[in-house]
Amino acid sequence: MAAIERVFSGVQPTGNLHLGNYLGAIVNFVKLQNTHNCIYCVVDLHAITVWQDPVELTRNIREVTAAFIASGIDPKKHIVFNQSQVAEHAELAWVLNCVARLGWLNRMTQFKEKAGKDRENASVGLYAYPNLMAADILVYRATHVPVGEDQKQHLELARDIAQKFNNDFADSIRAHGLEEKFFPQPEPLITGPATRVMSLRDGAKKMSKSDPSDYSRINLSDEADAIAQKVRKAKTDPEPLPSEEKGLEARPEADNLVGIYAALSGRSKADVLRDFGGGQFSSFKSALVDLSVDKLGPIGAEMKRLTQDPGYVDAVLVDGADRARAIAAETMHAVKDIVGFIRKK
Ligand code: TYM
């Protein structure tokens, strides 16, 4: 077993948790519990970088928490909480705002996509979002961060910020007798056959919460018949499935569905094609419907049960936040000393 290292990751409570979130991130969160100390965060401060209806936001925070637990995350052995309950995230983010460079943030593709053409009208929070994300990770001095492929650039930025902080304050870090690499370089864990799940309607577009078509995604809360309908309507091409992975190369829709099947069944794409290669999409889709309903049905049902008990969910978040805060406060004390602030000792 690997040495115990700390894992941190977050999911935004912005509605419609989908199969991309599940296969790209949550499945890996569950696995890492066996080898690491894990902290999983419902990132509500990130959510409000775009306006959220307050009633919906509360509901969505509970829904993501329920999805974590229903998928197999153990909030007693590990830590599950919502970001706004641990003030140190925002506090460290301010310090990191002063470390990160404008030029670095200007390169972030996700800001460009989300702000769109009307950039002048985007919130300042949306622009500074990657600095808060760096703070989320670094406030726990986390070593590993499981995410989908779309977060890779943000992780690279977090590494740059950690390194610049360590360099800028090297003398002070030493003077306080702290580790030279005060912030470790967080390593992205982008693993499995579904690190980038694509829309079911268009193999060139990422599966996303914000796609206006509900047929583009499978939501974790979808009932069996909705899952079946969406899989059957998923876009494909006229060729039979290839027998080898190489044959998926210029076929984004086929590649996506095979990747989803592989991830849901815990197999590789090559392995799945050994069973289905040469066959028509119709029979493959039937098998995919059965597998999806089999895997996602119980999760959706458990999410429903948990969200009907908000008292329990909120208690999990309060307990997790208390334990997270204890770790974050320690880092923040050291950061204040390093930067030269005065604090109560
Ligand atoms: P968010 O809420 O957009 O997505 C949560 C996780 O789901 C992954 N994901 C996908 N994976 C595969 N295919 C897809 N179509 C797909 N869509 C989403 C994301 O990569 C992510 O892992 N900024 C983050 C949240 C965050 C965070 C953090 C993550 C805030 N602070 C610190 C890690 C560490 C986000 O918006 O994820």
The whole-number pLDDT of residue 316 equals: 98
Inter-residue contact 17 to 219 (CB < 8 Å): yes
Decide whether 6-195+310-339 matches 214-305 in CATH topology. Answer: no
Architecture of 6-195+310-339 per CATH? 3-Layer(aba) Sandwich (3.40)
Active site residues: 114, 206, 209
Query: Among residues 28, 8, 18, 15, which one has the least CA distance to residue 62?
Result: 15
Inter-residue contact 151 to 188 (CB < 8 Å): yes
Residue bearing the CA closest to ligand 1, atom 29: 10
Inter-residue contact 253 to 265 (CB < 8 Å): no
Ranges of each domain in the chain: 6-195+310-339, 214-305
Mutate to test the pocket of ligand 1, among 110, 151, 207 (most ligand atoms within 8 A of CB): 151
136-159 pLDDT, tens per residue? 999 999 999 999 999 999 999 999
29-59 pLDDT, tens per residue? 999 999 999 999 999 999 999 999 999 999 9
88-108 pLDDT, tens per residue? 999 999 999 999 999 999 999
Q: What angle do CA 12, 14, 18 make, to 5 degrees?
A: 80
Q: At what angle do helices 224-233 and 281-307 cross, to 10 degrees?
A: 150
Cα 10 to averaged position of ligand 1 atoms, centre (Å): 7
Residue 8 has pLDDT above 50, yes or no: yes
Q: Token pair for residue 103?
A: 């030029």
> Average pLDDT for residues 66-90, to the nearest whole number?
98
SS3 for 145?
A: strand
Tell me the average pLDDT of the chain.
96
Pocket of ligand 1 (CB under 6 A): 8-12, 20-21, 24-25, 43, 46, 133, 136-137, 145, 147-148, 150-151, 154, 195-197, 206-207
The CATH number that domain 214-305 falls under is 1.10.240.10
Supply the DSSP symbol for 198: B
Q: How far is CA 58 from the centre of its chain?
A: 19
Inter-residue contact 70 to 303 (CB < 8 Å): yes
Q: Percent of the chain having pLDDT more than 90?
A: 96
Please state the three-class secondary structure of 201-213 as a single string: CCCCCECCCCCCC
For the whole model, what pTM was predicted? 0.96
Rounded to an integer, what distance in angstroms lies between the CA atom of residue 148 and that of residue 190? 6
Cα 177 to averaged position of ligand 1 atoms, centre (Å): 36
Cα 26 to averaged position of ligand 1 atoms, centre (Å): 9
Residue 110 has pLDDT above 60, yes or no: yes
